[in-house]
Structure 1
């Protein structure tokens, strides 16, 4: 049986952080062994997910230990994402959102009893039910109700209208399922804010009384069983209310130390931090694997074009720009993933010391930036970056890029779907831009980056990203002031400014990623590795600048001459990187045998035949 070991050197530390390598090896080994054993098994997707989820649970430490260490949660996500992207969606629901809600919001999870034990043992699959299908931004207007019954001290869960039906990966009959359900608590006829409740949905036979689960809905980009879920008088015991220090006294009096519905919604949805802190690392792993396998494929693949018959595809400049650029972006996403984990770790430390929660004035388009602006924005920009990398690699690998065994379609489908899932990225960036424009300060706008930072150096792109954010912030602040002076408020004020607000949110995200990348490279001590990572980081910036050149020119951040010079800069950086490709691909790719895709094999055709003959 293969054992996957820790990569050596500083690059291995950047890629894998300080994570527990024994856990990584154990998970990759178990997933690979199960893949071989079940290659010809005839089972439906729901039962397969239940079985493989139980396999993962059996190879993990206890839930309490797992949630004490962000690095362990991150390595779980990376391993499952690399080996089986659809399964990772189920793992996110089960661990980050369902169990994460209980760990975060319950005084003592053990008090919940049977449902908690079933979830922690993997006997029941956990899901998270928050999104309602009838309205946009449904998180800000949840209509599912949990009415408190003072006679039984239970909650009665109801879906009042069809539009309040919840949507999640609940379909199929693979086994027992329990959910954390976000619902509007009603006590003595008064709505008291959105809380979470642990609710048993299905057993091995089907939905439990009062629970309605629709037929499965197909989502091709993430091939799991999804359904609509409705509740009709489902009774939930008091101990399954994730009350987070709120309480209802024996006389029916309601108490919540948070003091208001917005603060309560922010706290209920704070479980998003767990997802946002670990998801960037997982999608970065997908992006790295996409880039590494595509580079290996192109290095061995011969082309028969008449300019140079028999030349390797990677000798072509446009292929180098695309795939070395993809490798550079995947490295930047990796650095951003590390930053996300560090932000979460700091927030946990601050919370443990009793630091006050962030203000909730960011809830305009969605609740997410009010929960944690930098983490939510990092989620948005990393899933978009990973989707971009996987899509480019698909395109550059031709037919092979779209064959299911090569996994690029799975990586792209997951990252693309998570542009909406896990907090809608569009709304996150809109709220981030709006909030930034309403804060004081912001620095000068309309300035070109310092001329003493050449475009082929790692520090150039952070300077550009910072200048772009400054330009857009000043522009948006001026537009808001003019609108307010003209007497406009609300949607009338912001409707003409949404594109600029979104652009400012994107610039803020670009700066977070650029700064994370530059800091990681600056901390490297090994001279040989620095000579590889400095052009890699610089290439990321040059490719990003070329991709967003229109916006940079429109804001006045870059001059036309600087944009015209970018292709030559990229050519030079590619030439500097090519000698380092073996080192970079070895350290940034998945361990040999961990990922089943034939794409990166020395003899692709033989590997594909071997895969199909299993």
Structure 2
């Protein structure tokens, strides 16, 4: 017999992962530690660099951290919930910069000094891939690394203003080391996009040939962003993160990979670790948004004529939004766990489905979809929570704005969500029509049933895919191809990619709830999962009506189903709130306090005028 572990402990394991509480406590202590005196009044970049140094002391060596998906996710969730800008810096430092070195360097031991500086936090690591002058797919990077055969060095060059790199590089004066994605050129050929390890600056300032612009403001996610250009920066051969490639003594390039496309996918494959752990971090932000909004709605009083003096949570519209956000944040938690499990089963394995619009689904079609879904859902959820909290939701110190800004930025960062879902829809349309073309839920199954939404989501995806295949066949029969064929169908392909992501989330949620052993927890999670499904159906009702998966009568009945599910959830909120809003997310914010106005006032410094 499997022993029961209690409702709170089982939910904490679903939400927080398998690592012991001590690991979370170490990370929380590092995040709560005060800034060093020299950084207390510095700019965003310098404060973030010093926070990274504190974080490094609480973490194992980078190789061990990156080899443990669940510890990397724990670092991600703790840091993201406490300080989203710091989390972005940690992603760049650990996952993208050091991850590239450890996975792609020909011999990491040759780069030991730079790795030691990064691992200790002495040097801040950044990842330079995005160029400002063209589309954001990374398919046509123009920064070049020309091989000098006589000296066996590379010359890194920014050919024009449009090839300038953009990143949170911080201000010169702090040691920074970048992994730079550049197009390798030999005398004979363009060899594709590789990564190179480049020291940008030390305590004295910029290193020769490196140019960094004045700060470029990005208020939604404050770091010290800037443009970076290279003017003939010379790099030793060992700084080429060459993976399986080499250049022989005659200057001839060799690579076991079949061509530039495969090399680009391999270079960007470091993003798999980001996509595997980012959904967990976004889920942590979503949980914080939902729980803080729930607490605020419980204590915030209404003074309208319908229910003067009552908490705003008595209103059905507030219940639908706030409990719906709680349900959506739990669904995102299940998506985050699924992403970690997928990465743990095959870390670093490319599961390429090809690509047409961007390289990301070719790197990993499953993790890319999880990333796109988690980012867009969290951004939408956080914005709704801000609205439901009124003025309080927009104040920076209550942190909802930071969560929304981070998630919204990752619409484009880490792989453009729209391009990912477009390629996903294109790939699904390329599969043969299945025998099952999408059976909607039987009328005997009510929307509040746990299995209703996954059934509807599968039928919706199948019917969208079948319709897109028919449109493609008709276009091909007319002799159309390329842009002429696809341009009128891009919106449909995107809708199909979105439906696919929604179906994956629904199935992961139901699978998680179905595995719950504790009866008290199951009684809370079943209506929570059903509420997620009904809310998703309501959000996507236009498309569901268009594919005839749902009829008008069913759509009209969805608000009543949400009412019933909210009534089931209200008595069970204590358990969900206690665990999903658990400590370990940095300093408390006023928004979650029982007396919000007093907590807000106490969090501020005050200036008092003299007596008249």
Q: Does 1:21 align with 2:21?
A: yes
Aligned position for 2:206 = 207
Q: CA deviation at 1:536?
A: 0.2
The answer on whether the counterparts of 2:464 and 2:547 sit within 8 Å (CA) in structure 1 is: yes
The answer on whether the counterparts of 1:129 and 1:179 sit within 8 Å (CA) in structure 2 is: yes
Aligned position for 1:332 = 331
Q: CA deviation at 1:8?
A: 4.4
Task: Measure the CA separation in 1 of the matches of 2:387 and 2:498.
Answer: 25
Q: Does 1:547 align with 2:539?
A: yes
Range moving further from structure 2, 276-285 or 156-165 = 156-165
CA RMSD of aligned residues (A): 1.8
Of the three residues 411, 416, 422, the one matched with 1:424 is: 416
Cα–Cα, structure 1 residues 189 and 215, in superposed 2: closer, same or farther, change >3 Å?
A: farther
The answer on whether the counterparts of 1:287 and 1:330 sit within 8 Å (CA) in structure 2 is: yes
TM-score (norm 1): 0.95
Of the three residues 453, 465, 468, the one matched with 1:461 is: 453
**Residues 560-579 of structure 1 mapped to structure 2, 5 A cutoff:** 560-579=552-571
Task: Measure the CA separation in 2 of the matches of 1:609 and 1:446.
Answer: 56
Task: Measure the CA separation in 2 of the matches of 1:447 and 1:491.
Answer: 32
How many equivalent pairs are there? 601
**Residues 251-270 of structure 1 mapped to structure 2, 5 A cutoff:** 251-270=250-269
SS in 2 for 1:466: helix
Task: Measure the CA separation in 2 of the matches of 1:562 and 1:101.
Answer: 50
Task: Measure the CA separation in 2 of the matches of 1:442 and 1:381.
Answer: 25
Q: CA deviation at 1:320?
A: 0.4
Aligned position for 2:354 = 361
SS in 1 for 2:155: strand
Q: CA deviation at 1:17?
A: 1.8
The answer on whether the counterparts of 1:405 and 1:596 sit within 8 Å (CA) in structure 2 is: no
The answer on whether the counterparts of 1:263 and 1:360 sit within 8 Å (CA) in structure 2 is: no
Q: CA deviation at 1:40?
A: 10
TM-score (norm 2): 0.95
Q: Does 1:245 align with 2:244?
A: yes
Q: C-alpha deviations, 1:515-574, integer Å up to 9, x for none?
A: 110000000011111110000000001011111111111122211111111000000000
Aligned position for 1:510 = 502
Q: C-alpha deviations, 1:456-479, integer Å up to 9, x for none?
A: 022111111111110110011111
SS in 2 for 1:612: coil
Aligned position for 1:3 = none
Of the three residues 573, 577, 581, the one matched with 1:581 is: 573
Task: Measure the CA separation in 1 of the matches of 2:346 and 2:39.
Answer: 46
The answer on whether the counterparts of 1:100 and 1:271 sit within 8 Å (CA) in structure 2 is: yes
SS in 1 for 2:480: coil
Range moving further from structure 2, 444-453 or 409-418 = 444-453
Q: C-alpha deviations, 1:293-332, integer Å up to 9, x for none?
A: 1111111111111222111111111110000000000000
Structure 2's unaligned 5+ residue stretches are: 1-5, 607-612
Aligned position for 2:3 = none
**Residues 168-567 of structure 1 mapped to structure 2, 5 A cutoff:** 168-173=167-172, 175-348=174-347, 351=349, 357-359=350-352, 361-362=354-355, 364-445=356-437, 447-567=439-559
Task: Measure the CA separation in 1 of the matches of 2:382 and 2:142.
Answer: 37
Of the three residues 587, 590, 593, the one matched with 2:582 is: 590
Q: Does 1:161 align with 2:153?
A: no
SS in 1 for 2:110: helix
Q: CA deviation at 1:151?
A: 1.0
Of the three residues 596, 604, 607, the one matched with 2:599 is: 607
SS in 2 for 1:566: helix
Range moving further from structure 2, 448-457 or 250-259 = 448-457
SS in 1 for 2:364: helix
Task: Measure the CA separation in 2 of the matches of 1:542 and 1:80.
Answer: 32
SS in 2 for 1:599: helix
The answer on whether the counterparts of 1:320 and 1:574 sit within 8 Å (CA) in structure 2 is: yes
The answer on whether the counterparts of 1:294 and 1:600 sit within 8 Å (CA) in structure 2 is: yes
Cα–Cα, structure 1 residues 114 and 592, in superposed 2: closer, same or farther, change >3 Å?
A: closer
Cα–Cα, structure 1 residues 335 and 225, in superposed 2: closer, same or farther, change >3 Å?
A: same
Cα–Cα, structure 1 residues 593 and 281, in superposed 2: closer, same or farther, change >3 Å?
A: closer
Structure 1's unaligned 5+ residue stretches are: 1-5, 352-356
Task: Measure the CA separation in 2 of the matches of 1:460 and 1:595.
Answer: 40
